[in-house]
Structure formats: C-alpha cells, structure tokens
Amino acid sequence: MTIGDITPKKERKSRRSKHVVDDTAPLLPKRQDEDAGYDEFNGASFTGAVFNLSTTIVGAGIMALPATMKVLGLILGIAMIIFMAFLTDASIEFLLRFSRAGKTTSYGSLMGDAFGKYGRIFLQICVLVNNIGVLIVYMIIIAYDGLLVLEGDVLSGTSSSGVHHAGVLEGWFGEHWWNGRTFVLIVTTLGIFSPLACFKRIDSLRFTSALSVALAVVFLVITVGIAIIKLISGTIMMPRLLPDVTDLTSFWRLFTVVPVLVTAYICHYNVHSIDNELEDSTQIKPVVRTALALCSTVYIMTSFLGFLLFGDSTLDDVLANFDTDLGIPYGSLLNDAVRVSYAAHLMLVFPIVFYPLRLNMDGLLFPSARPLALSNMRFAFTTVGLITLIFLGANFIPSIWDAFQFTGATAAVCLGFIFPAAATLKDRHSIATKKDKILAIFMIVLAVFSNVVAVYSDAYAMFKKNSVTEPTA
C-alpha cells in the first residue's frame, strides 16, 4: 500500500475543509473555505511542490559536502550521499503515513498526537532553534563570508586574523559605506527577504524556488567548465577514491562528516505544508522522491567537482576555495560568478525556511488561535518580529557557526530522524511493522551518534584552538 492509498482523495479533501482551532491548524485556511476571503486556490502543482521541497533541502550545507569527499574519498562519499537520501525518504514516509492515520495536517500535530502537548511544544522549539540559526547563518554568508570558516566573503567582505578579504561589491566598486555589511543586510532584508516572507501560501514561492534551484545548477555549470579547462591543461590530479586511514585518529575523523551528511537532507518541517496545498494529495510521495533525486544529483556533482578541482586543499567550505587564484583565464570573473550565484541562491532559500519558522512560532505562542492567515495583525507582527530578530543576530553575532553546530545541527537531526522514528516506535495507531521499528531504532542511533560526534569534534577543535592561541608564560 502506498502513501497516497492510505487516505482516499475524497476523504482527504473533506478533512482539509474543516476549521481547526488548535496547533493542528496549518498556516493557511483550507482551499475550499469560502469564508476566508481569499481568491480561489485550486491547489499546488507537482512541479511547484518539487521546487519548493528541493529549495528547502539545498541550502548552505551544499558547500560543506566536498570536504566530506576529502575525508571519505569519492566512492564512500558518494555512497553515503545516496544512502542518506534513501534514509530521508523513509523518515518522510513515516511522517506522512502516521499523519494519515491520525488525521493530522502538520508536523506539530503529529507529535502532539503521538506524545501529547509536550511532544508538540518540543517539536516547535526545535524548528525555532534550527531555522533561526540557519537563517542567521544565511544572512552572514550573503553579506559577510562563507560557511564553516571565515576565509572570504560573498558580497560585502570581512576581516579575518587582521587580513581584509574584499567582497564582490568592494572588488567591483571599491570600498564605500554602501557596500559594508550592515547596509548590504538592510537592503537585502527590505528588498528581498521581507517581500518574499509576506506570502501566505508556500506555493506562492514556487517560482523563486525554481530560480533558486537554477542558481545551484549555475554553480555546477561554472564548476564543470573550470574542471574541463583544468583537465585539458593537465593541472588536475586523480582524486582519492577511498579514505586515507593510517591510525586511530584518522579513523575517528571519518565519523566527523556524519553530522554534515545527516543534516544535508533536512526538509521535514515543510513536508506537511507542501502536502496540504497539493492539488492531488496522492502525488506527495512522487514529489518527495523527485526532490530527493534532484538534490542528490546536485550534491553528488558538487562534491565530486569540488574535490576534483581542489583535492586535499578542499576547505570545509568549498566557497572559500573560490577566493583564490584558479590558474585559468578569467579566473577572477568565474570566482565572482560562483560567489554571486551562491549568494542569490541563499536569498531565495530564505523565504522557504522562514515559512515553517513563522508557522511554528505562531503555534507555540497562540496554540488555540484561528489560522494565522486569517489574522493579518498576528501575521504581520510575527513576520516583522522574526525578521528583526534574524537581522539583529546576523549583525551582532559575527561568529555564529560554532553556536549553530551545537544547537541547529542537534535540532536538525531531531526534526529529520529522531521525531519521525519516535512516532513510529510509539505506534499510537498500531500500523507500524517490525521492519519499520527496526529502521526507526537505526535512525535514532545514527542521529544520537552524529550529535555526539558533532559536539565532541567541535568542543575538541575549540579547545585545541584556544590552547594554541593562549599566550605562554
């Protein structure tokens, strides 16, 4: 029995037409609600749903994947990317199947159905922690630098270790007040983030999501071109196929890439919103699998090409590698094209990640209120408040990434694997098979293990860095 067969379309539409005045209510009034005061909405298309889910998946983490190839080698690295795609598909299938069984229409209501009020609240807190952290990092990347190490910048530039790295705008026009970090963030927030965040339907973002995916493809096309030129000139060496394990330390290092791979496909907080708006609800399973296949292809290509180009010099954030001399004609122009396309990609990812953040914030603060889209004042205050918080965080927290790994990565694996697996093991409606429960246990073990590895590796790196920089007596 497939996911779409579990709830007939007629019954599904009937369920959507009900007013729900609690945490189970989605952000929008249902399509057939004639009293909502909105233009008739006939449902989201398959293509629009695929683009929205794909944009949710492909965020900033894409630039960290080439570094996993440096650790794992091409063969094991590509195999792990494919494996995590299949595991993500299974976890989303758990979410949808148990949502159908409990007649719930949101992730929060699913957790409430399985674990009560506190299960719903814990889920909403995790979405807030994860998505606020992600969006602050996006702002910093766009206006300041790169993802894992402050080595360069995207638009406005930065200074690291006393060395100034000119941004794209500064490189083009020279140093001015209007291409500084704060002004770039103000313009981006008011001109791009705020207008896109005002849409009340996630399907309204389908065109910006399609453009976002296209910009990720632009990065791939440019990288392919660079690789071809360097292959012809004979300046690329054969990348390592297998991990280089020489001692216990190098063996332990293999596991430090697990958090990156585990969190690469996190999109679960948007699945219900996309499912609720689909014209044909039986299409959600093909939507999920198509999006995962598309994103896996982008991930594999990015990882392969990044490692092929830079080899063992691949940095934790491969974008920082494009701040150096590529050794080819028009290398500086190609570097700028990569960085600008990536910054534009993240700008268009922002509203897709912001959408569930606003929904869960409202559900946490007003669990018994009517749907958010029916209250313009609540919608406006929640939107402005969250954007202001994210803007301030991006301006006053210059080194967010360490904190983000301790909080956001932990919340992300809860959202992606621990919560779906826990709902499966709870099996409130007695529909889980023995195979489902074994897979659920495996997901939880993997998620907990990846969290322990992430926290340990980050703490060890910070301790080692502090011990090196600490002045000697």
pLDDT, residue 86, reads 94
**Displacement of CA 285 from its chain's centroid (Å):** 20
Amino acid letter, 9: K
CA 6 to chain centre: 29
C-alpha 466: how far from chain center: 30
Domains and CATH numbers, the chain: 60-466 (1.20.1740.10)
| Res 225: pLDDT | 85
Question: For residue 219, what pLDDT is reported?
Answer: 83
pLDDT of residue 167: 54
Q: Which pLDDT value is given to residue 88?
A: 94
C-beta separation of 176 from 189 below 8 A = no
Q: Which of 56, 3, 112 is nearest to 412 (CA)?
A: 56
pLDDT value of residue 2: 42
Residue among 97, 85, 43, 95 nearest 274 (CA): 43
Q: Average pLDDT of each block of 10 consecutive residues along the chain (473 residues)?
A: 44 41 45 45 82 85 81 88 93 94 89 91 90 82 47 43 49 55 76 85 86 86 84 76 75 75 86 88 91 92 85 75 73 78 84 90 85 84 91 70 59 89 92 93 88 69 60 47
Q: What is the pLDDT of residue 470?
A: 53
Look at residue 251 in the predicted model and tell me its pLDDT: 75
pLDDT of residue 398: 56
Instruction: Judge residue 173's burial from the number of C-beta atoms within 10 Å of its C-beta, 0-12 exposed, 13-18 middle, 19 or more buried.
Output: exposed
State the virtual CA torsion across 251, 253, 258, 263 in degrees, nearest 10: -170
3-state secondary structure of 369: coil
pLDDT reported for residue 132: 87
